[in-house]
Chains A and B, each alone.
Chain A
């Protein structure tokens, strides 16, 4: 019988949650790397035993860990992520030039076809690639050097490349998202890039319709419909039907369109999930009621999903990598909160239950559907 493995990165270690296809009872393994920030863990789609983890602290810097047995054992691999050439400057918060400085790996994205190939999105924003299982890394510097990089400015969380979306069938195409620069697209495997923010409007920046400078929080697509991309922005839920070349707002009747996460149903490409957060200055759900919202129409019309989620005093946030969807049928969803709870649903979000509570602040949730 199929099973699932949920990979949870927290502020003080990594946890691996496993269950069978019923998703009723769970084994919790961890913390791995206790005391370290685990910004992200991700498994290879072609080898579920191959998992990569970003392990870091401000004290001791960045490590990349790799497991070849599904997260039971780990070995450090290469952590030398050096900018290509002289990286120059981007803008600082006050608009002055600021040198590019490596801070941490925010996101790891294993290749769809090769378990030894993995991409890393880092702060200060750049994209790296390894083709030897994380042993060595090289920058895809065409992104940082395509022309707008000097204009990029950090958001409060830093200038981070936090989302990497690979085209499901064309390995030359990819979208990345950077806070707070926006979306960028490559059609040649990362050699060249262009901004992909047409249609985004952000009142908080001097030119609301600028080519770059938008704080994009997350992107998601369904592999059967790769030209349709959904976005949760710093305000606004957006949709593109041309691979990111242009965007339209689909916030519709959401109670608030601020949030961090967005994801797509495993089997219904027009069914989308978000977790609305009250505002950019109040990072918790409205009235302390944690709700996942679902649209079955690709946006515009949304319904709250609350059964089993805390509806009182849940003043928590759900960070951008903390919503995941498995591919069982019905598909399951997983949400991790800043209060250290991981909730799971085995019925497309209709009902939820806590898988584990009391973890450190959850920073990422990914799920592997096991054969």
Chain B
């Protein structure tokens, strides 16, 4: 299945992409699986969304499945069906403002 991922501007530039990223994943589609695939295709993103080593979400980054905040969900929990089906994107969002 094709998962759509939206990245914040800095990470799009880093990954040298201009729009949504599409990733091929097998079920189950989880946050961990999406980010594993993202970092495999774009290794420059390692350490920018999840901490190196612990793979914990970076504090100023949040995850959304459509409009649902999944930042605090277990990384191995299945994402909503709409995301898994590619109907809605998985968002990686950086905290707003702050200088």
Residues of A within 8 A of B (CB): 35-36, 57-63, 76, 79-82, 102
Asked if A59 meets B95 with Cβ closer than 8 Å, knowing A76-B14, A80-B52, A81-B52, the reply is yes
Q: Given A36-B10, A58-B60, A61-B58, 5 more contacts at CB 8 Å?
A: A59-B10, A59-B95, A61-B47, A63-B47, A80-B53
A-side contacts of B44, CB under 8 Å: 63, 76
Interface membership of B61, Cβ < 8 A: yes
Check if A60 sits within 8 Å of B98, measured CB to CB. no
CB distance from B35 to the nearest CB of A (A): 13
Q: Does B11 interact with chain A (Cβ within 8 Å)? A: yes
Contact B49 A60 (CB under 8 A): yes
Establish whether residues B52 and A79, one from each chain, have CB atoms under 8 Å apart when the complex forms: yes
Secondary structure at the B interface, as helix, strand, loop or mixed, is loop
Does B46 make an interface contact (CB < 8 A)?
yes
Give the complex CA separation of A105 and B58 in angstroms: 17
Whether A60 lies near B52 (C-beta < 8 A) is no
Segment 38-70 of B: residues with Cβ below 8 Å from A: 44, 46-49, 51-53, 58-61
Residue picked from A35, A36, A57, most chain B C-beta under 10 Å:
A57
B residues less than 8 Å from A79 (CB atoms)? 46-47, 52
Q: Which residue of B lies closest to A81 (CB)?
A: B52
Q: A58-B60, A60-B61, A61-B51 are in contact. Are A80 and B98 (CB under 8 A)?
A: no
| A80 close to B46 (CB less than 8 A) | yes
Q: Which residues of B contact A102 (CB under 8 A)?
A: 52
**B93 smallest CB distance to A (angstroms):** 10
Q: Which of A36, A58, A60, A76 has the most CB of B within 10 A?
A: A60
A89 to B25 alpha-carbon distance, docked (Å): 40
* Distance from B19 Cβ to chain A, minimum over Cβ atoms (Å): 19
Please measure, in the bound complex, the distance between the C-alpha atom of A19 and the C-alpha atom of B29, giving whole angstroms: 54
Indicate if the CB atoms of B46 and A57 lie closer than 8 Å: no
Main SS class of interface, A = loop
Using A57-B10, A60-B94 as known contacts, say yes or no to A82 and B58 having CB atoms under 8 A apart. Answer: no
- Point out the residues of chain B lying under 8 angstroms from A62, CB to CB: 47
Q: Is the CB of A59 within 8 A of B58?
A: yes
Chain A contacts of B60 at CB under 8 A? Answer: 58-60
A58 and B53 contact, Cβ closer than 8 Å, known pairs A35-B10, A36-B10, A76-B14: no
Contacts of A81 in B (CB 8 A): 52
Cβ-defined contact, A82 with B53, below 8 A: yes
**B60 nearest CB neighbor, chain A only:** A59
B59 vs chain A, min Cβ distance (A): 8
* B47 in contact with A58 (CB, 8 Å): no
Which residue in chain A gives the minimum CB-CB distance to B58? A61
Q: Which 8 A-B pairs have the closest CB atoms?
A: A60-B48, A59-B60, A59-B94, A76-B44, A61-B47, A79-B47, A82-B53, A80-B52
Which positions 12-27 of chain B face chain A at CB distance < 8 Å?
14
Contact B14 A82 (CB under 8 A): no
Are B53 and A60 in contact, CB atoms less than 8 angstroms apart? Answer: no
Residues of A within 8 A of B8 (CB): 59-60
Q: Can you name 8 A-B residue pairings with CB atoms under 8 Å?
A: A35-B10, A59-B60, A60-B10, A60-B11, A60-B14, A63-B14, A79-B46, A82-B52
**Distance between Cα atoms of A58 and B44 in the complex (Å):** 17
Distance to closest chain A CB from B38 (angstroms):
13
Q: How far apart sit A35 and B97, CA to CA, in the bound complex (Å)?
A: 12
Chain A: CB-nearest residue to B61: A59
**Complex formed: what's the CA distance from A271 to B61 in Å?**
48
CB proximity of A247 to chain B, nearest CB, Å: 37
Q: Which residue of A lies closest to B44 (CB)?
A: A76
CB distance from B15 to the nearest CB of A (A): 10
- Residues of chain A within 8 A of B61, CB atoms compared: 59-60
Which chain B residue lies CB-closest to A55?
B14
Shortest CB-to-CB span from A67 to chain B, Å, is 15
Give the complex CA separation of A63 and B46 in angstroms: 9
Complex-state Cα separation, A35 to B10, whole angstroms: 8
A63 cross-chain contacts in B, Cβ below 8 A: 14, 44, 47-48
